[in-house]
Amino acid sequence: GVGLEGFLLKPVNPSMLFDTIMQAFGEAVPETSRIAQRQEQEAETLQYIQGAQLLLVEDNEINQQVAKEILEGAGLNVTLAT
């Protein structure tokens, strides 16, 4: 069966999305940090999860496309739930 690692309730902002993905992969989410440190950590983490499979569940088609493009741009393989 397919395991569920986490979920988000709307409204979702990019930070919430990132934090949930990091938690799903067992990465610690920083409480507070400077922007440069966080960007460096995000880049390192994105390298770690590139190629991962992600199921995107969103009922709004525009939001689907935006989220899909962002996530695919980060190197994730996105499947849209139908």
Residue whose pair of structure tokens reads 């922007």 in the numeric block? 35
**Single pTM value for the model:** 0.52
Q: Is the pLDDT of residue 44 over 90?
A: no
Q: How far apart are CA 64 and CA 12, in angstroms?
A: 12
Asked whether the predicted pLDDT for residue 32 surpasses 60, the reply is: no
User: pLDDT (tens digit, 9 = 90+) per residue, 45-73?
Assistant: 778 888 899 999 999 999 999 999 989 98
**8 A C-beta contact, residue 81 and residue 63:** no
